[in-house]
A and B are shown apart, each in its own frame.
Chain A
């Protein structure tokens, strides 16, 4: 069974690049373009990995991450956070909120694939 990935990213071109990249590695990638309804989508889809952009319309990535960690069902769900702001403060905040891994945009394609593979292996 191919691993399910939920990608929450508001930039359509970036979402397309990640979907293509990870799809080629055999993962099932579902894209959500806003922070709205992210929790419900996680519950419905049951992904093995969530890739979460930090700056999202409606609800920020940090808020969604906090909700994920607050729910016992998703307490251990691997979450990879992406950000374009690249400030050290954001990284600290993300780790404090319980993120599994953190990458800065622009990212190296191979690093992205490796990070996802590592998170998948962890489940």
Chain B
């Protein structure tokens, strides 16, 4: 097989993934998460646990150390079957607190401390670097295997050049899919779908090779079993301490590895999926491990000199099974790419959220509040992705390409396991403190670096040399203390790093007192299933920030649509219309958590604090809130709930009473308004008709006064029409005339009909006709009526020198949003709330005419069409948003 063909197949495969990811992303964008809800997507996406290490390296591992490779599968299986309480709690916390990464989890739990976030990020980057290098290496090696197999004798020019190309390609793919947008929950539907697909490919490939080896080469299951029995494996007994240690680190890995945390917690869209994964994922692991031993045994027998790490590939190749080898190659390629992509995204999120963004916020606080943060965050992510892959590549070059895949993977496992005590302590132990977590992690990682990480540079790693530490043999004396003088070096490293880590974590936590935010967060995390009160009231007292300023900031972080609908929902939940809710502590905490999903908990907290300026809570306030929270959580007695019930009832009664009074006042005001609007034209008509009946007028005066009477009579008719229309609409007795209509054509009609409003003024309309190609099932006439009203209003009231109206159309789910935004001064904030009321005219009638019923009618029309109309604050001029269901009658 030629090298070009191989590269072409790789590119085609990546293109296929790309299309798949784009398709899933597209479906998710229009609200279709059905693919992601497919039963097996979640367990399949968890299979990124199985990297190239598992795919190629497990056979090598089995060839070197017999059954020990099973420990790497046993750890996760035990966690999923026996300890899924931990996972359930993690997933729940992840969803409630919108955790974006394992660094964010720890930072958020221990008082939103960014120092901890940075520490975990650094640990994760350091520990993952060998792991990423391992993937690059396996892809490079598999290329090389194909290279040496060809008769033409093409050879890879140089291993690190190939690795560099692979790293570059992966960086590109990751950037394209991982940083296309900044979802506030940090979920990447496209990527999840792609890695689920890759999971199938790698399983199919390994099973195919296994079947070929057992039935094609080994002569059937019984013959292979005989071969296995013939080895010394039969009399082999596991080394208990090594097995325990390996099962422990692989169990820790499933929780702490950045990519595992990412797919398991961050990308989880339904906690019910976890229950299914508790059997499906172990089943996947079982299938993946089924043929490892046969392949190793048959491989060693047939190709005794080959690199055992590549047997999955070299075995079919040596038998002339090109297609099978190609499948195996793609399986390995899938394992490597899916791991690198997700790991890189997870690490890049941590780096940008915990290092780059906080640094930027600190250095340029003013600029950070003004500019478009989303673009900035995305840029930071992209740079981080390139940096992470660059580090992996550099490690690959420095370590000289180890010949032992499993050793490199284990180094990463042990490194990330240093985060485990802080995670478990954080979610199960209220007394855990940030200081303890920090001490434990730093000390643990230092031991890891000294015993495993640093020695891995330079010469090739051999498993027996692992753990020959930098401190010399005398350091090993404590092993004798436990009655195992010849303690295994890897076990030695795991044991000492975890012992130091856990001891310091517990001591540090016992000896320090948590800060107020930390206490609140601690309670919220540990008691996540009881209530989320604690998280809901994260100590925001009424501040001085303007809701509009907050909205502007939120738009830049979580995106315009998401921010507007978030604010709108919050306002509705508070019983208000429009887009600007009251800044209650609940709302602020909710907003903070949403923002935390994009920029991390610590940064979000800092940003809202910045906007609040001095209104930020004091330590005393926080202590008060913390105490209150603890009380609520710990003594949520029946008395309190009864009292709450009484208070609620009283409030409901008070609100009902206020509403009745308000309705009565409104009715009075309405009658006064009606009277005024009817009497005004009648006054002119009566006065002029009395003058006319006196008879001694020059003819031109007669004509002039007659024209006035006529105009005022028309005005009176129009007013009565409007009133009747409004009354019909308000009663809900309106007859709708439903038909299919093209939105663009409706806007054309409205523009034509409203061109006679102030025709003397030049008026510029901006549209994007391509967006308007939307077909609606609605009442055309009624919808055009609304459009005419809005366009006429803009023509009447827009006070810019060269008035311009922008009409923007966007489809969002089953709704169409039509925005009418002019470039005038807009509507003052104190009046935005009343413009949809009857007779809520803002300027004088003399200039523009009209009775002030237009927007009230628009509101009623939109309600009868199943849509809404609202004022859109925070734009430059007056801005109205009309939301229309694509098909009337369907729930929106």
Q: Does A107 contact B (CB under 8 A)?
A: yes
**Which of B22-30, B211-219, B676-684 interfaces with chain A?**
B676-684
- Contact partner, B684, options A10, A17, A33, A86, Cβ 8 Å: A17
Please state if A10 and B687 are interface contacts (CB–CB under 8 Å).
Answer: no
Residue among A11, A21, A106, A108 with most chain B CB within 10 A: A106
Q: Give the Cβ gap from B96 to chain A, nearest Cβ, in Å.
A: 52
Please state if A11 and B675 are interface contacts (CB–CB under 8 Å).
Answer: no
> Could you tell me which residues of chain A, from 59 to 89, have a CB within 8 Å of some CB in chain B?
83-87
- Contact partner, A84, options B676, B690, B843, B846, Cβ 8 Å: B676
Please state if A14 and B843 are interface contacts (CB–CB under 8 Å).
Answer: no
> Could you tell me which residues of chain A, from 1 to 38, have a CB within 8 Å of some CB in chain B?
10-14, 16-18, 20-21, 33-34
Complex CA gap A84/B711 in Å reads 19
Complex CA gap A42/B691 in Å reads 29
Complex CA gap A86/B668 in Å reads 12
Residues of B within 8 A of A21 (CB): 687, 691
- Contact partner, B676, options A12, A85, A109, Cβ 8 Å: A85
Q: Does B708 contact A (CB under 8 A)?
A: yes
Residues of B within 8 A of A120 (CB): none
Closest 7 CB pairs of A and B: A17-B687, A57-B844, A84-B679, A13-B684, A105-B683, A106-B686, A106-B683
Complex CA gap A57/B847 in Å reads 11
Residues of B within 8 A of A86 (CB): 675, 679
Complex CA gap A101/B242 in Å reads 106
Residue among A34, A84, A109 with most chain B CB within 10 A: A84
Residues of A within 8 A of B712 (CB): 13
Nearest B residue to A13, CB-CB: B684
Q: Does B688 contact A (CB under 8 A)?
A: yes
B contact residues, range = 20 to 34
- Contact partner, A14, options B675, B676, B683, B711, Cβ 8 Å: B683
Residues of B within 8 A of A83 (CB): 676
Check A16/B846 contact, CB under 8 A, given A11-B680, A105-B679, A106-B682.
no
Please state if A107 and B675 are interface contacts (CB–CB under 8 Å).
Answer: no
Q: Does A119 contact B (CB under 8 A)?
A: no
Residues of A within 8 A of B683 (CB): 11, 14, 17, 84, 105-107
Please state if B846 and A106 are interface contacts (CB–CB under 8 Å).
Answer: no
**A-facing mask of B540-574, CB < 8 A → 1, else 0?**
00000000000000000000000000000000000
Q: Does A39 contact B (CB under 8 A)?
A: no
Residues of B within 8 A of A104 (CB): 679
List 16 other contacts, CB 8 Å, given A12-B846, A14-B683, A85-B676. A10-B844, A10-B846, A11-B683, A11-B846, A13-B684, A17-B691, A84-B676, A84-B679, A85-B672, A87-B672, A87-B675, A105-B679, A106-B685, A107-B687, A109-B687, A109-B690
Complex CA gap A105/B690 in Å reads 14
Residues of B within 8 A of A108 (CB): 690
- Contact partner, A33, options B679, B680, B846, Cβ 8 Å: B846
Q: Does B636 contact A (CB under 8 A)?
A: no
Q: Does A97 contact B (CB under 8 A)?
A: no
The dominant DSSP class at the B interface is helix
Nearest A residue to B687, CB-CB: A17
Residues of B within 8 A of A33 (CB): 844, 846
Q: Does B152 contact A (CB under 8 A)?
A: no
Residues of B within 8 A of A17 (CB): 683-684, 687-688, 691
Q: Does A55 contact B (CB under 8 A)?
A: yes
Q: Give the Cβ gap from A61 to chain B, nearest Cβ, in Å.
A: 13
**A-facing mask of B688-707, CB < 8 A → 1, else 0?**
10110000000000000000
Nearest A residue to B711, CB-CB: A13
Residues of A within 8 A of B737 (CB): none
Q: Give the Cβ gap from A88 to chain B, nearest Cβ, in Å.
A: 11
- Contact partner, B708, options A13, A84, A109, Cβ 8 Å: A13
Q: Does B235 contact A (CB under 8 A)?
A: no
Check A109/B679 contact, CB under 8 A, given A10-B845, A12-B846, A13-B708.
no
Complex CA gap A122/B676 in Å reads 30
Nearest A residue to B712, CB-CB: A13
Please state if B680 and A14 are interface contacts (CB–CB under 8 Å).
Answer: yes
Residues of A within 8 A of B671 (CB): 87
Q: List 28 A-B contacts (CB under 8 A).
A: A11-B680, A11-B846, A13-B688, A14-B683, A16-B708, A17-B691, A18-B687, A21-B687, A21-B691, A33-B844, A57-B843, A57-B846, A83-B676, A84-B675, A84-B679, A85-B672, A85-B675, A85-B679, A87-B671, A105-B679, A105-B680, A105-B682, A105-B683, A106-B683, A106-B686, A107-B686, A109-B687, A109-B690
Residues of A within 8 A of B686 (CB): 106-107
> Could you tell me which residues of chain B, from 382 to 418, have a CB within 8 Å of some CB in chain A?
none
Residues of B within 8 A of A84 (CB): 675-676, 679-680, 683
Complex CA gap A84/B675 in Å reads 7
Nearest A residue to B841, CB-CB: A57
Nearest A residue to B674, CB-CB: A85
Q: Give the Cβ gap from B520 to chain A, nearest Cβ, in Å.
A: 51
